[in-house]
């Protein structure tokens, strides 16, 4: 993924809703704290709606990341869910945590493909997010 840097900004209401919902699935207070202070500092260069995140809040310790991750990795975990776009088809939403910090809110339309923007505010029915 190629990022285009942007001046740090708060997440849009749609981004915030997805970020908070996915972070809550993990059940880790440090991650919820990061979600509360997260800023968007990059957008995906392909034109999709994925954003890169930064936060001044404390990182989740590597040992805790390994406990939470379904793969046992201590450097990465993801929270994956599927919402519905305005036309009713599935849109993948993934919150990536890298080295204990929120890193990316990925919003990808697998039907429209790479570069297709999906306004996070239009997503409904975020179904059964899981930690991977």
pLDDT in tens, 104-122: 999 999 988 888 899 999 9
* Least confidently predicted of 2-16, 26-40, 109-123: 109-123
End-to-end CA distance of the chain: 20
Q: Which residue has the tokens 């999709």?
A: 48
pLDDT at position 52 is 99
For residue 77, which of 34, 126, 127, 16 has the smallest C-alpha distance? 34
Q: What is the mean pLDDT of residues 123-132?
A: 91
Helix ranges (H only) for 10-122 are 13-26, 29-37, 62-68
For residue 53, which of 108, 91, 114, 95 has the smallest C-alpha distance? 95
* Least confidently predicted of 11-15, 24-28, 49-53, 84-88: 84-88
Q: Using CA atoms, how far apart are residues 30 and 51, in angstroms rounded to an integer?
A: 20
pLDDT category of residue 91 using cuts at 50, 70 and 90: very high
Q: What is the mean pLDDT of residues 78-96?
A: 94
Q: Using CA atoms, how far apart are residues 127 and 125, in angstroms rounded to an integer?
A: 6
Question: How does the average pLDDT of the chain come out, rounded?
Answer: 95
Contacts (Cβ under 8 Å, ≥6 apart) of 67:
none
Per-residue pLDDT at 1 exceeds 80: no
Q: Label residue 16 exposed, middle or buried (CB < 10 Å: 0-12, 13-18, 19+).
A: middle
Segment 52-71, tens digit of pLDDT: 999 999 999 999 999 999 99
Helix (H, G, I), strand (E, B) or coil at 102: strand
């Amino acid at each position: 993924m190629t990022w285009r840097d942007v001046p740090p900004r708060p997440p849009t209401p749609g981004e915030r809703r997805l970020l908070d919902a996915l972070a809550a699935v993990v059940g880790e207070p440090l991650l919820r704290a990061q979600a509360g202070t997260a800023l968007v500092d990059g957008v995906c260069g392909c034109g999709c709606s994925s954003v890169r995140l930064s936060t001044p809040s404390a990182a989740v310790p590597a040992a805790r990341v390994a406990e939470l991750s379904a793969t046992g990795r201590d450097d990465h975990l993801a929270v994956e869910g599927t919402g519905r776009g305005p036309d009713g088809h599935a849109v993948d939403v993934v919150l990536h945590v890298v080295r204990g910090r929120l890193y990316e809110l990925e919003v990808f339309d697998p039907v429209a493909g790479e570069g297709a923007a999906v306004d996070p505010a239009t997503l409904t029915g975020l179904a059964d997010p899981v930690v991977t």
